[in-house]
Amino acid sequence: MTTVYKIRNRANGLYSTGGAHPTWSKKGKTWARMSLIQSHLRQVMARRNNIQLYNEADIVEVEVTEKETKSEDCLSKIHDMMAEDFVKQQEKAEKAKKTTRTRRGLFY
Q: Strands 15-16 and 24-25: what pairing?
A: antiparallel
Other C-beta atoms lying within 10 Å of the C-beta of residue 4 = 17
41-48 long-range contacts, CB within 8 A, separation 24+: 43/19, 44/20, 47/20, 47/21
Q: What is the pLDDT of residues 80-108, one digit of tens each?
A: 999 999 999 999 888 887 776 655 665 55
Mean pLDDT over the full length of the chain: 88
Q: How far is CA 13 from the centre of its chain?
A: 22
Domain ranges across the chain: 2-64, 74-108
Q: What percent of the chain has pLDDT over 70?
A: 91
Q: What is the pLDDT of residues 58-70, one digit of tens each?
A: 999 999 998 888 8
- Listing DSSP states for 20-35 in one string gives SS--EESS---BSSHH
Q: Check residue 43 and give left, alpha or beta (phi > 0: left; psi -120 to 50: alpha).
A: alpha
Global model pTM greater than 0.75: no
- Listing DSSP states for 53-66 in one string gives GGTTEEEEEEEE--
